Structure 1
Amino acid sequence: MPQRKTEELHASAPGLDARPVEEIGAILLSGQIDALRAVSSATSDIARAGQMMAKAVRAGRQLVYAAAGSSGLMAMADACELAGTFGLAPERTRILMAGGIPTSAAMPGDTEDDTQDAKEAAEVIHAGDAVILLSASGRTPYALTIAGIARDRGAHVICLANNPDTPLLTLADVAICLPTPPEVISGSTRMGAGTAQKAALNMMSTIMGVALGHVHDGMMVNLHADNDKLRDRAARMVADIASVPHERAETALAIAKGRVKPAVLLAMGAPNLTLAEELLTQADGRLRAAMAALHSHA
């Protein structure tokens, strides 16, 4: 088996433990920056993946994230933010992690080889779902098993790996190679590889949010405002987009039950919530188009 970049020794590794602490910190930061640069070669594929995720959501299908170890943690971090950021129903997002989602600081490494666990976990996958698989090595048995099952069931398969020409990427409808350099701590893919994976996942899910109409001028207009900070953010968004005073924005939000998009239309002069919702439905949830329609309606 050829040596994988994620397992090679970094050029700055010799003598690392004998260097001054400040110098070690600078080397570690440099490793993270180099890992992020690797993402730039995959932006087109990342965009395709985000659009594929949006297609699945529009069709009422699931988003399924699957991985082991550090890659699983990166997947979980992205998946758990989708409901709050873009208003996606939590039950439409699944997280399949080798050994289960950790409930303590213990995360055994042998679970990534458990193909039987992978087969059982993959029972939740159906045709039309978007399945996002991660493996730094591109060879993790858990991820490979789920990828194969997802393909067989007619799901849309998106695979991320940090090594090129690996088995996981061959199973993908959209293959995203993030060719990160060797880790400063050899094989510790929670570092550079994990950073690149997190960046790619954040880009994918944000592109999905834009494609679904949940972003307007860089604002998350489909957020779920369930705390004081987010309620204040929602009111500021309504005030900014509709160009109205904060008090009027808060009144519109109350009528719209905290939903930013219909609240914007109400603040702009929509006579009632029913019309605001109808305009958004006709605009496929896109606020900009609904705002234009409101002007025409007036």
Structure 2
Amino acid sequence: MTPRDASDANDSRWSDLDRPPLNAAALRRALVREGGLWREIEVVARTGSTNTDLVARAADGTADEGAVLVAEEQRAGRGRLDRQWTAPARSGLFFSVLLRPAEVPVARWGWLPLLTGVAVATGLARAAGVDTALKWPNDLLVTVPGPAGAAGAERKAGGILAERAGADGVVIGIGINVTLREDELPVPAAGSLALAGAATTDRDTLLRAVLRSLEEWYGRWRRAGGDPVASGLQETYAAGCATLGRVVRAELPGDRSVTGEAVAVDGDGRLILATADGVREPVGAGDIVHLRPAGEE
């Protein structure tokens, strides 16, 4: 088979019967409506990064708030801290949305990735019946059952990346592993909805649920002027955050790290660590490593 033949075979809707393509027309019928947030939903076979593409479209004026760009396959997907995100074609949901929260002070836009995490977790719980949790700031965790009699393992099944798009926009990229099998996982700590026992892995159903949940939470937050308390966002995020109550290590910019118990998420969306010397240190950026539950020796 020539390289061209191989590419054509990969594009065929019948190349993997367990992973059918998304139905773009049905998604538009279900989600695009007068007065709603979602204005345009485009599904492409593959791209480097949906975030990169949508940021560029926002910059040249060819995309506006409510644009959704979905890729069946990403070849240069990016996570936080410029980590690569790769997965087989049609094995997950890889998409970006463009938001322009004009009513919200820019100082509160830092809540958007956390809001998206809440929306994704809520939508997936409703549609797939999977118990989800959030690792600060915006990783989606699921529990993958172990061998008979063994405790389940907490694994990352999704992530969120927010990028500014000009002076008045934010592009939020979302990646969710849906049908990845154990032998396809990029690292042992990764997981998928299928491995977590999801009631459904139909990606059309899951994408509709996530986008409806995101529209609901974004509207609530925007109507509250971005206030995380008035919108209920801060309380809901804290309730679903697996990081709180655990001893963690925060790996910070400048090769500095702080270890302590994660005790709160403050009004700016920062993680508050209580260190052994009695200091409460806010963490606004960095990598969080879960070490053990609080109080465990």
TM-score bracket, shorter-length normalisation: under 0.3
Higher helix content, 1 or 2: 1
- Larger relative contact order (Cα-Cα within 8 Å, sequence gap ≥ 6): 1
Higher strand content, 1 or 2: 2
* TM-score normalized by the length of structure 2: 0.26
* TM-score normalized by the length of structure 1: 0.26
